[in-house]
Amino acid sequence: MAMEGDVMTTVDATRAGAGLTTEEAAARLRVDGPNRLAGPKRKHPLLVLAAQLVHFFALMLWVAAVLAVIAGMPALAVAIVVVVVLNGVFSFVQEYRADRAAERLRELLPVRATVRRDGRAVVVDAAELVVGDVVLLEAGDRICVDATVLPGGRLSVDESMLTGESKPVRPAAGGDVHAGTYVVEGHGAVVATATGSRTRLAEIAAATEHAARPHSPLANQLNRVVKTIAGIAVGVGVLFFGVSLLLGLELSEGFLFAIGVTVALVPEGLLPTVTLSLARAGQRMAARNALVRRLESVETLGATTFICTDKTGTLTRNEMSVVAVWTAHGAVEVTGEGYGPDGTLCGTPDAVRAAALVADTAARCSPDAHAVSEHGRWRPVGDPMEVALHVFATRAGVPAAPGAVARYPFDPRRRRSSVVDGDGLHLTGAPDVVLGLCTEVPAGAERVLTEMSGQGLRVVAVARRRGAVAVDGADAVEERMEFLGLVGLQDPPRSDVAEAIDACRTAGIRLAMVTGDHPGTARAIAVAVGLCDPDGIVVEGKDLPAGEDELGALLDRDGVVVARVAPEDKLRIARALQARGHVVAMTGDGVNDGPALRAADIGVAMGASGTDVAREAADLVLLDDHFGTIVSAVEQGRATFANIRRFLTYHLTDNVAELAPFAVWALSGGNIPLGLSVLQVLALDIGTDLLPALALGGEPANPRTMNGPAKTGKLIDGRLLRRAFGVLGPTEAAVSMLAFLTVLLVSGWTWGSTPTALATASGALFAAVVLGQLANAYACRSESRWVGRVGVTGNRLLTYAVGFELAMLAVFLLVPPLPELLGGHVPTALGWGMALLAVPAVLIADAVQKALRSHRRGTPRLPR
C-alpha cells in the first residue's frame, strides 16, 4: 500500500503537471490490487437450491407426500417428491442462470476515469486507479476513489449516496471527496488516497450487504398471477375433495386426491421462467448494444409510445470536425479527415490569420482534449466537440497554450465555457449567449449564423478579453468581450437513422427531438433524417408553455423539434407527455439530465459519450449511442411481453385438459371412470410443461412485432383467458375425452359399469393431451397468425422441447414400470388415431378463432 508520503510526493508532482508515471501506477496496482469493491457474498448454490424446496407450495407438497405414505400410497408419495425436486431444480437453474446473466450484463459497462499519467491526460479503467493517481474530474463524472482535492479547480459534489444530504457540497483545496459520489458542477483534479475495499464506500457496502432487494413491479404482477392461479387450484382441490367424499371415497384418499389435483395445477415454474425470459432478452439487447440496467425494464420498453431523443451522437455520428470559420475578415474553409492533425485552412491571408486566432482561443478553452492514434485511426480523448476544436488548432499551426489560472467548464445553464490564463480570458459557447457578452459584433454575423445552422452545422462563437482578469466568479469576468469569430462543426447524421425513424412510425411510436442545439441546426438535422418536414414545428425551450396541459398539447404529435432546452425542460416534457397517457423514453447524457431520466418511464443514457450520472439514472444504456439501438430495444421489449403471454396461454390450456377428466368424473357422479390418475397429471406437468414453456419464453421477435402500436397491458386479460379457457383448452379437453370414451366403448364399456380397458383408454387420453400440447406450443407462437403462416421453424429451442416431449410420451407409455405405476398403457391403433386427432383439432380451432377475430377487425380472411 502506498504511504502518505507517497501521496504528498504525487501532489507536488501534480502541481508541476506530471502525475504518476505509468511504471509507478503499475507497481502500485500490483501491491494494492484493482480498485474494486468486494462483491457481495453469494449464497452457496446448495442453500439456494434448498430454498426452492421449502417455500409455501413445496411445503404443502411435502405434507401431501407424508400423508400419502401414512395412507399406504407410496407411489403417489414418490411422485409428489419427484415433482417437488424437479420443480425445485428447475427453478434453481432458472434463477441461477438469470443472476449470472445479469452479472455479465453489468460487466459490459465498465467505469472509466481520466488520470494524469506521464504528464498528460489519459483515460483508464477505474479498476486501474491507484493511490497517488491524479484524477481529472468534470461535471457528470463518478468519483471512483477516496481522494484529496488539489488547488486550481472548482468542484460541486453530490454526496447523497453516502450522507443522504441532497444539497451538493463544494470541497476546498485539501478537502476530501469519496468514491461513489458524483461531480454535478465544475471541474478539478484530485489525488487518490484510498482505493477499492479501503474506501468509505466499501465500508458502507459491507454494512448493507444483506439488505433485501425489493421486488420489481413486473415481479409483483407475476406474483399476483401465480397466487391467483394457485388460489383457483386450491379451490378446485377443495371442490373435488367434497365430491370424492360424496362418491364414497375414504377421507384420506379423498384428501390426497384433492391435494394431487391442486399440486398439478399450481404453476410453480412460472416466475423463474419469466425471470429467465427477461434475462435472455437482456442478453439479446446487449448483443445489439443496448444494456438494460434493470431486467424489468425490458417489459416497459415494449410499451413505449413516445421517444424524446437527443441529436448529437444519437441521430448523428458524434464525429465532429471544424469545416468552416467566419470572422470579420471573411470566411475560411477547413479541410481534413477525422481527428487527424493533417488539414488546411483555405481563405484570404487575413481571414486565415483571424481563423488561427479563433483556433488558439478555442483550444485554450479545452486544454485536456486531444486525439490519439490507435491502430492507424485517430480517436478523441475528451468531449468530441472540444477535441474537434483542439484538432482545428493543430491544423491551424497554433502552438500549445500556456497553463490556465482558472477554468469554467461548459454548463448547460450558462451554455458557455471559459479559461483564464496569463493572456486574459478566452470564451466559447452558444452564439446567442456569447454575442450578447461582446462589446461589438461585426455586421453579417447573424446572417452567417443562420446560414451555418441551416446547413446542419453546430455553431460555436469564440471571444476573448485581453489583460489581467479577476477570477472571483465566471459571470463577473465574462463581460466586455472581443468577438473573434464563428466556428461551424460538422456532425453528419447516422446513415441508418432514417430507417429506424420509419420503423418507429410503423410501430405507432411518436418522436420528438429534444436538444440544446441551435433551432436552425436542429431543424436541418431533423429534416435530413426524416424526423420532421421542412415546415415542421420547431420551438425553443424558452417558448415552451408554462402549464403542463398546454405543454402536453403542443408536444403530443409526431416530429416536433424542441431546441435550446434546459435540463428542467426535459423533466417537464416527460411529465407532460406522461400526463397524456404516454409511456415515455427520454434520452440524456449530461449530469443535469438525471431527474428527467428518472422521471421518464424509460431513461436512456449514452454509454460511449454520456456522463456517469446519466448512466446511473438510466434504465437503458446505449453502448453505441445509436438511435437505432433504442428501436431494437423496443422491439425486444415487445417480443418479451408477447413471450410471457405465450407460455401463460400454454400453461392455462394444459390445465383445462388436465382438469377435464376430473370434471367429467365428478359431474357423472362417478359413472364415467376417471380418465387420468393424479400421477399421470404430475407426469404431464413434468413431460409437457417445463421445456416447451421455457422455449416459448425464448421465442425470437417476429417481423410483425413493430407493426402497429404496442399490445401491452395486463399479462392475463380477457383475450388470453378466452383463448386458453374458451378455445384451445376446451378443444384439447374434448378430443382427449373423446379418445378415452371411444376406446372404452369399443371395449364394451357401458354407463356405470367397471371398464375392462381402463388403462388402455387412459393411455389414449394421456397421449391426446401430450399431442394436443405439442400443437398448442406451435399455436402459441403467435396470437394473430395461424401455424400455417408462422411455420414450425424459427425457434430451435421449441423444436428440441417438442422432441423431448415426444420422447417422454414414449417413456411414460412403454418403459416399465411406469405404465403400471401411472395407470396408462399403450393405446390401441384406434386409440392412437383418436389421440392424433388432437393435433389438427387444436390447430384448426386456433386458426378459426384467429380468422374470426381478424374478420371482426374488418379483414375477412385467414389471419396472416
pLDDT tens for 96-140 read 765 666 566 555 556 788 898 888 888 888 889 999 999 988 877
Buried residues in 557-573 as b, exposed as e (16+ CB within 10 A): ebbbbbbbbbbebbbbb
For residue 702, the model assigns a pLDDT of: 79
Copy the grid coordinates of residue 215.
Answer: 421486488
pLDDT greater at residue 232 or residue 440:
440
**Span 323-345, average pLDDT:** 90
pLDDT tier, 803 (very low <50, low <70, confident <90, very high otherwise): very high
For residue 97, the model assigns a pLDDT of: 67
**Span 628-636, average pLDDT:** 89
For residue 322, the model assigns a pLDDT of: 93
For residue 505, the model assigns a pLDDT of: 92
**Span 362-388, average pLDDT:** 81
pLDDT greater at residue 311 or residue 685:
311
65-69, 557-561, 601-605, 840-844: least confidently modelled range: 65-69
By the 10 Å C-beta count (0-12 exposed, 13-18 middle, 19+ buried), 27 is classed as: middle
Copy the grid coordinates of residue 38.
Answer: 468486494
686-690, 744-748, 808-812: least confidently modelled range: 686-690
Q: Using alpha carbons, list the distances in angstroms from residue 376 to 318, 379, 544.
A: 20, 10, 47
**Span 616-634, average pLDDT:** 86
| Whether residue 440 has pLDDT greater than 70 | yes
For residue 210, the model assigns a pLDDT of: 47
Q: pLDDT > 70: what percent of the chain? A: 85
For residue 270, the model assigns a pLDDT of: 67
By the 10 Å C-beta count (0-12 exposed, 13-18 middle, 19+ buried), 442 is classed as: middle
| Whether residue 559 has pLDDT greater than 90 | yes
Q: What angle do CA 562, 565, 571 make, to 5 degrees?
A: 100
What number of other Cβ atoms are within 10 A of residue 680's Cβ? 26
Q: Kindly report, residue by residue over 707-764, the tens digit of the pLDDT.
A: 888 776 677 778 888 898 899 999 999 999 999 999 999 988 888 888 888 999 999 9
Buried residues in 724-755 as b, exposed as e (16+ CB within 10 A): beebbbbbbbbbbbbbbbbbbeeeebeeeeeb
Region of 292 (left: φ > 0; alpha: ψ -120 to 50; beta: rest) is beta
| Whether residue 355 has pLDDT greater than 60 | yes
Q: Provide the CA 242 distance to its chain's centre, in angstroms.
A: 49
128-132, 219-223, 749-753, 771-775: least confidently modelled range: 219-223
For residue 267, the model assigns a pLDDT of: 62
Q: What are phi and psi of 473, to 5 degrees?
A: -175, 145
pLDDT tier, 211 (very low <50, low <70, confident <90, very high otherwise): very low
Q: Which residues are catalytic?
A: 310
| Whether residue 7 has pLDDT greater than 70 | no
**Span 306-322, average pLDDT:** 88
Does 817 sit behind a cis peptide bond, omega within 30 degrees of 0 on the bond before it?
yes
Query: Count H helices, E strands: the chain?
Result: 33, 26
Across the strands, what pairs with 482? 440, 464
Nearest to 479 by CA among 427, 401, 535: 427
Q: For all residues of the chain together, what is the average pLDDT?
A: 82
354-363, 465-474, 495-504: least confidently modelled range: 465-474
Which helix H or strand E contains 297, and what residues bound it?
Answer: helix 297-302
Which helix H or strand E contains 219, and what residues bound it?
Answer: helix 217-246
For residue 445, the model assigns a pLDDT of: 92
For residue 459, the model assigns a pLDDT of: 94
Q: Using alpha carbons, list the distances in angstroms from residue 380 to 321, 374, 784.
A: 11, 10, 49
| Whether residue 9 has pLDDT greater than 50 | no
What number of other Cβ atoms are within 10 A of residue 228's Cβ? 11
| Whether residue 706 has pLDDT greater than 80 | yes
pLDDT tier, 182 (very low <50, low <70, confident <90, very high otherwise): confident
